[in-house]
Structure 1
């Protein structure tokens, strides 16, 4: 089999993206050759990499699973790819899979790195799997349970997925808080009440912050009830952030905790690994509610322009899905 030519998106921070060609060698035993169908751009991590906002201390910890290149230089980044197996052992050929791979038209991976899509999860929606894995880990870290009053601050992709999952727990009351009234439809779609920050209900059991803003974090601390947990999902890159630890923070005996998908939540770690957690995230995307988070497709060739647009702080894009022709 001749080596196919693949095309991949590279990011050269700050503020440059380009598409480059590379050859993909024939898969060896236990490997798959995958042709991409869709991928998705992360509004959080990928835009921080593109904009050059990753601090030097985090270059290694911020590596994507299949990243090529090293910061601060050009990198092939990304981790939300859905494709179809073209070549591989056994019954792999023809199967649709999710992989934490960058934006690339074809790629070769070990079979262990591919998560087969269940028949009830469409490939178009499966691009949310990496973000869904983050949302699953967040609810594990937060310890959300039956009857909790949960507030999610920041109606982006991560916040929306967390709100949607929490709304499925028995007896759980969910508020989704954001400053942008254009996102009110997300509350309706995901089973949560949408609120502006000044309308947010106080005395909540769990508050999950995912707005990546100081004001959002202040609101999270403000609406948390006595001895509640505030879970910080936002990653601020190189930005310094002021945390309001005065006022009632101590008298309410709040727990302020970070959550990050790089490690499985401690309460599940003895029984779950990264692959089983990702497989769970993929399976949870059999829910059409989550289509509300996905923007209309754009073509792979437009990715450099897409990165420029999405990195603009005024852009309201949620999950930007990329179509491969």
Structure 2
């Protein structure tokens, strides 16, 4: 049963045109049967994906596959997009009121969703850090796809949020030699915080058992292929939108029998698909965030109402921001 029987007004961020965003109002009916009303507390921008959305660079062939849960509008514009919101349940399904949850919802201060889409936060997880859940879910799925083992030599090329989380997870394997590789030397401090090694592309150790590419840049893919050892897997996590990418598949690529494998979070990794649901995977990602070292990925938060003005700077490739948290009031 809902707390309120009257409609309420919510505010949501919309990508309205290329390089433009605005906050729009919408009217919410009371939660329906099996729904909950969530008031947002914290959120986060997914810089890689949302930069492509903001720039109108989602290819037409991917318009349907790129739709996020609870997205509104249609690509390229206008769209209500995003998938990282932490909030408190205010009404709806009995027994959940007052609970703090993570949900894959666009940037909006108040909304109704099915109760099944609201994942309860573990008691040990601060709500501010829980905004990394979607990124951790992507990293977890990638680790399942890559199947690294103890004592492996592993390189992760690209020290963005997802690449850093993959490095963090691989760094927990017994005896694994994990290196985060990035062109920005300032990322060395992040690598230390996460408990892994750091190297620039020119100094990274090769002959790796596994290389994960997450830089979003074609030159990074070249670095990843160069670091892979004989018959190793190069796991490609970058999504380039509509940008063409040149992969250096000449030279010794074939004679070394390298395997270039894609990973994408939309489907659960084949190794786990028969037993895992999306809800179970997301709950596992939340549990994996219970480590204060991961706060190193979070930039200072900005207010939701400031997003339209701040987005161009935040999403700029040279901003240096990893995860941009959002606060709602």
User: TM-score, structure 1 length as denominator?
Assistant: 0.99
Question: Are 1:8 and 1:104, in contact at CA under 8 Å, matched by a contact in 2?
Answer: yes
Can you list the C-alpha shifts for 1:67-91, whole angstroms capped at 9, x where unaligned?
0000122000000000000012222
Separation in structure 2 between the aligned mates of residue 51 and residue 127 of structure 1, nearest angstrom: 23
Question: Are 1:13 and 1:49, in contact at CA under 8 Å, matched by a contact in 2?
Answer: no
Counterparts of 1:226-237 in structure 2 under 5 Å? 226-237=230-241
Separation in structure 2 between the aligned mates of residue 314 and residue 125 of structure 1, nearest angstrom: 24
Match of 2:180 among 176, 179, 184: 176
Separation in structure 2 between the aligned mates of residue 208 and residue 310 of structure 1, nearest angstrom: 25
The equivalent residue for 1:115 is 119
Separation in structure 2 between the aligned mates of residue 179 and residue 103 of structure 1, nearest angstrom: 31
Deviation of the 1:311 alpha carbon: 2.6
The equivalent residue for 1:251 is 255
Question: Are 2:56 and 2:77, in contact at CA under 8 Å, matched by a contact in 1?
Answer: no
Deviation of the 1:40 alpha carbon: 0.2
Structure 2: unaligned runs, 5 residues or longer: none
Asked if 1:72 corresponds to 2:72, the answer is no
Deviation of the 1:310 alpha carbon: 2.2
Number of matched pairs: 325
The equivalent residue for 1:188 is 192
Question: Are 1:47 and 1:310, in contact at CA under 8 Å, matched by a contact in 2?
Answer: no
Match of 1:20 among 19, 24, 35: 24
Asked if 1:261 corresponds to 2:253, the answer is no
The equivalent residue for 1:296 is 300
The equivalent residue for 2:218 is 214
Structure 1: unaligned runs, 5 residues or longer: none
Counterparts of 1:1-325 in structure 2 under 5 Å? 1=4, 2-325=6-329
Question: Are 2:161 and 2:297, in contact at CA under 8 Å, matched by a contact in 1?
Answer: yes
User: TM-score, structure 2 length as denominator?
Assistant: 0.97
Deviation of the 1:293 alpha carbon: 0.4
Separation in structure 2 between the aligned mates of residue 12 and residue 243 of structure 1, nearest angstrom: 34
Q: Secondary structure at the match of 2:72?
A: coil
Separation in structure 2 between the aligned mates of residue 89 and residue 236 of structure 1, nearest angstrom: 40
Q: Secondary structure at the match of 1:194?
A: strand
Separation in structure 2 between the aligned mates of residue 178 and residue 161 of structure 1, nearest angstrom: 14
Deviation of the 1:118 alpha carbon: 0.5
Q: Secondary structure at the match of 2:180?
A: strand
Question: Are 2:19 and 2:55, in contact at CA under 8 Å, matched by a contact in 1?
Answer: yes
Separation in structure 2 between the aligned mates of residue 15 and residue 284 of structure 1, nearest angstrom: 34
